[in-house]
Amino acid sequence: MTISMHRASIPVLRRTLKNLLSILEKGAAHAEAQSIDPTVLINSRLYPDMFPLVRQVQIASDISRRGVARLAGVEAPKVEDTETTFAELSDLLQQAIAYLDTFSPEQLEGSEDKEVELPVGRGESITMKGWPFLAFFVLPNVYFHVTTAYDILRHNGVEVGKRDFLGEP
């Protein structure tokens, strides 16, 4: 059975972002139940040189949206990444999920062999085929940032576990 680029990207990214949304809801509930200022959790990081929770969520959202857009050959809508609350982060993820839902299988058909240009900073970019871009850049990056967001909340006492990360079957 051949798997389409749509099936390899949209359901996977959608589910991962939905699971992150549920994890953030648990973070917000934990802050309220423990009388913790939510901004403490939102600005928490695992190590001083790592991004805080808020940035981890923004990057997971950005890479998901931009990655699929690049595969489809369209420009993703610009997002300012100015969120400062759990509610704003939830809205960001819901908007990213809604954006992913706009892509049809036809828009991604054949993108596995399409040349994708990826900006890497300082005006430089790299080019790779669509399948390696999805399999070795987009998905691992999204998983990395979602895992780090999960770890930040878990480290701060939020009761989340592997089932929260994986979601319901």
| pLDDT above 80: residue 122 | yes
Across 38-53, average pLDDT: 98
Above pLDDT 70, what percent of the chain?
A: 99
In a domain, 53, yes or no: yes
- Output the pLDDT for position 1: 62
Tally the domains of the chain.
Answer: 1
Closest residue by Cα to residue 63 from 18, 128, 9, 115: 9
pLDDT at 168: 84
- The answer to whether residue 81 is domain-embedded is yes
Per the domain annotation, does 46 fall within a domain?
A: yes
Residue 168 within a domain: no
Tell me, yes or no, whether 165 lies in a domain: no
| Residue 52, phi then psi, degrees to nearest 5 | -75, 170
What's the DSSP call for residue 52? P
Q: Mean pLDDT over residues 45-54, rounded? A: 97
**pTM of this structure:** 0.96
Torsion sign, CA atoms 109, 112, 115, 116: positive
User: If you average pLDDT over every residue of the chain, what do you get?
Assistant: 96
Residue 44 identity (one-letter amino acid): S
Percent of the chain with pLDDT over 90: 93
Closest CA to 115 of 127, 131, 107, 98: 127
For residue 167, being part of any structural domain is answered with no
Q: What CATH number is given to the structural domain containing 76?
A: 1.20.120.450
pLDDT at position 132 over 80: yes
Whether residue 43 is contained in a domain is answered as yes
| 111-129 average pLDDT score | 93
How far is residue 134's CA from residue 99's CA, in Å, rounded to a whole number? 17
pLDDT of 2: 80
- Provide the pLDDT confidence category of residue 12 given band limits of 50, 70 and 90: very high
Q: How confident is the model at residue 120 (pLDDT cuts 50, 70, 90)?
A: confident
User: Per the domain annotation, does 50 fall within a domain?
Assistant: yes
- Report the pLDDT value the prediction gives residue 6, as an integer from 0 to 100: 98
Q: Supply the range of the domain harboring residue 54.
A: 5-159
Output the six-digit token pair for 112. 């596995």
